[in-house]
């Protein structure tokens, strides 16, 4: 069924816009009038899938990307409606007017039309991989197959809400150190480019050898003042090169390996990746997804190449009849606690719940580590900025002290 974009007037005469699905423009007008909306302009919306081949996709993708919190909210509401006895199509149709995101509204309308045409919910959302993750698609497919779609949607909403809550807490913890770093860097550049040259200019006419710290400060200041644009361009080029290098297979592997071996940060990244892997695998297994298929999905969601390779190797071992704990212990990527908890889960036939408990443990440990690191990071930044500013003040004051001794 076609989807139409419309501009209309409500009963108060206020302009409103949105999308509506109908067989034709005439049917769309009638449907809008039935909803007490008076159409001003109606046109057929272009298919989201067709945009994947359009030349302007790269420019529009940032602005048309569906936010995960919108998907999470929709999933929670859909689970409530389906659990209350609404048919899936009716539940999606009831949700459409509540979706504020224009792009997500169109995607959801297309999904509803696809289901009306006879496709499954999992098949419909698989057409939009940028919006719905492989975990989402496979859990929905498992829920449809087992007749427990409302339970699966509730579980998906819980998983996504936990991930977003953890992400928000991490971002909040890092916000203050990041702000201090940016402000400190800007102040330092201001000192070197504007303040220091105006102060050190008084030493130009003095026929006296300047101290080494002062000469170093003047040299750095002149470098920033004369070549600030070159330094900025070099930094931008380095960032672009790093991003492009990380997109390559070798680059991604080297970066992930370096991050895992980096002191302090490596353990944190390992805990977050293992928690993500464990929660995904546990949720998939609990909803009836086969072990090998669940491992294939969880491998792609781990977020680290080394861990993904370890899971891939373990998947091959499991396919040959080995246990999951023994298969994962072949590499040293997973912590010992992970292997032990999985082994206990396999022996007690509670692997799914054990994986979810392990994910909670590592999420809590990662959050505690981040809080302790950020609590130490702020004083360290203040100390570093104090040392730099103290060096600048000392470099300026040393020649003044020497001149005052000569005058005496």
Please give the pLDDT value at position 1: 57
CATH 1.20.81.30 fits 64-160, yes or no: yes
Residue range 210-218: mean pLDDT, rounded: 84
Please give the pLDDT value at position 51: 43
In angstroms, the CA 356 to CA 160 distance is 14
DSSP class of 9: E
Please give the pLDDT value at position 407: 53
Please give the pLDDT value at position 233: 92
The pLDDT confidence band at residue 136, using thresholds 50, 70 and 90, is: confident
pLDDT, tens digit (0-9, with 9 covering 90-100), for 337-352: 888 999 998 888 888 8
The pLDDT confidence band at residue 59, using thresholds 50, 70 and 90, is: very low
The more confidently predicted of residues 389 and 37 is 389
In angstroms, the CA 157 to CA 165 distance is 12
Would the pLDDT of 97 be above 70? yes
Please give the pLDDT value at position 86: 87
Query: Looking at the chain, how many residues does it have?
Result: 408
Would the pLDDT of 47 be above 50? no
DSSP symbols for 15-80: EEEEEEE-SSHHHHHHHHHHTT-EEEEEEEPPPTTGGGGSTTHHHHHHHHPPPHHHHHHHHHHHHH
Would the pLDDT of 126 be above 50? yes
Please give the pLDDT value at position 48: 40
| Dihedral of alpha carbons 96, 101, 105, 107, sign | negative
Q: What residue spans of 149-211 are helical by DSSP H? A: 149-190, 196-200
Please give the pLDDT value at position 234: 92
Would the pLDDT of 189 be above 50? yes
User: For the chain, what is the mean pLDDT?
Assistant: 81
Would the pLDDT of 358 be above 80? yes
Would the pLDDT of 150 be above 70? yes
Q: Under 8 Å CB-to-CB from 342, ≥6 apart: which residues?
A: 324, 325, 328, 351, 354, 355, 358
Would the pLDDT of 102 be above 70? yes
DSSP symbols for 366-387: HHHHHHHHHHHHHHHHHHHHHH
Please give the pLDDT value at position 57: 38
pTM above 0.75? Answer: no
Residue range 360-373: mean pLDDT, rounded: 84
The rounded percent of the chain whose pLDDT value lies above 90 is 2
Cα Rg of the chain (Å, integer): 29
Give the strand order in the sheet containing 38-44: 15-21, 3-9, 38-44
The pLDDT confidence band at residue 206, using thresholds 50, 70 and 90, is: low
Q: Is the Cβ–Cβ distance between 85 and 149 less than 8 Å?
A: no
Would the pLDDT of 267 be above 70? yes
Would the pLDDT of 281 be above 80? yes
Please give the pLDDT value at position 237: 94
Please give the pLDDT value at position 161: 86
Rounded to the nearest 5 degrees, what angle is found at the Cα of 95, between the Cα atoms of 92 and 99? Answer: 125
Please give the pLDDT value at position 405: 67
The more confidently predicted of residues 64 and 63 is 64
- As a CATH number, domain 266-365 is 1.20.81.30
In angstroms, the CA 383 to CA 378 distance is 9
Q: Which residues pair with 44 in a beta bridge?
A: 4
Q: Which residues pair with 39 in a beta bridge?
A: 8
The more confidently predicted of residues 334 and 303 is 334
| Dihedral of alpha carbons 77, 31, 66, 107, sign | positive
Please give the pLDDT value at position 35: 75
pLDDT, tens digit (0-9, with 9 covering 90-100), for 173-186: 788 888 888 888 88
Residue range 154-166: mean pLDDT, rounded: 83
């Amino acid at each position: 069924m076609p989807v139409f974009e419309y501009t209309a007037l409500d009963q108060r005469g206020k302009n409103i816009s949105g999308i509506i699905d109908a067989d034709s423009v005439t049917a769309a007008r009638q449907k809008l009038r039935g909803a007490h909306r008076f159409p001003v302009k109606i046109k057929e919306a272009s298919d989201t899938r067709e945009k994947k081949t359009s030349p302007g996709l790269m420019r529009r993708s940032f602005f048309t990307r569906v936010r995960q919190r919108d998907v999470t909210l929709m999933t929670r509401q859909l689970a409530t409606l389906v659990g209350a006895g609404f048919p899936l199509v009716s539940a999606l149709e009831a949700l459409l007017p509540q979706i504020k995101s224009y792009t997500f509204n169109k995607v959801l309308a297309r999904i509803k039309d696809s289901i009306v045409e006879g496709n499954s919910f999992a098949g419909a959302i698989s057409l939009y991989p940028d919006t719905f993750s492989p975990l989402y698609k496979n859990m929905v497919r498992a829920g449809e197959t087992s007749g427990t779609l409302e339970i699966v949607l509730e579980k998906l909403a819980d998983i996504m809400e936990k991930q977003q809550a953890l992400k928000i807490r991490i971002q909040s913890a890092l916000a203050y150190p990041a702000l201090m770093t940016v402000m400190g860097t800007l102040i330092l550049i201001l000192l070197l480019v504007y303040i220091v040259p105006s102060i050190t200019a008084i030493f130009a006419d003095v026929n006296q050898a300047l101290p080494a710290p002062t000469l170093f400060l003047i040299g750095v200041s002149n470098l920033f003042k004369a070549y600030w644009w070159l330094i900025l361009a070099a930094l931008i080029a380095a960032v672009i090169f790093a991003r492009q290098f990380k997109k390559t297979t070798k680059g991604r592997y080297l970066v992930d390996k370096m991050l895992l071996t980096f002191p302090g940060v490596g353990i944190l990244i390992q805990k977050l990746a293992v928690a993500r892997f464990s929660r995904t695998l546990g949720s998939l297994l609990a909803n009836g997804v086969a072990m090998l298929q669940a491992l294939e999905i969880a491998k792609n969601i781990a977020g680290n190449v080394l861990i993904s390779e370890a899971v891939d190797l373990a998947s091959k071992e499991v396919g040959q009849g080995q246990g999951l704990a023994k298969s994962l212990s072949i590499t040293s990527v997973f912590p010992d606690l992970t292997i032990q908890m999985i082994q206990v889960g396999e022996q007690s036939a509670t692997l799914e719940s054990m994986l979810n408990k392990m994910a909670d443990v590592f999420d809590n440990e990662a959050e505690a580590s981040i809080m302790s690191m950020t609590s130490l990071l702020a004083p360290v930044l203040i100390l570093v900025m104090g040392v730099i500013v103290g060096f600048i003040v000392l470099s300026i004051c040393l020649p003044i002290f020497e001149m005052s001794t000569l005058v005496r």
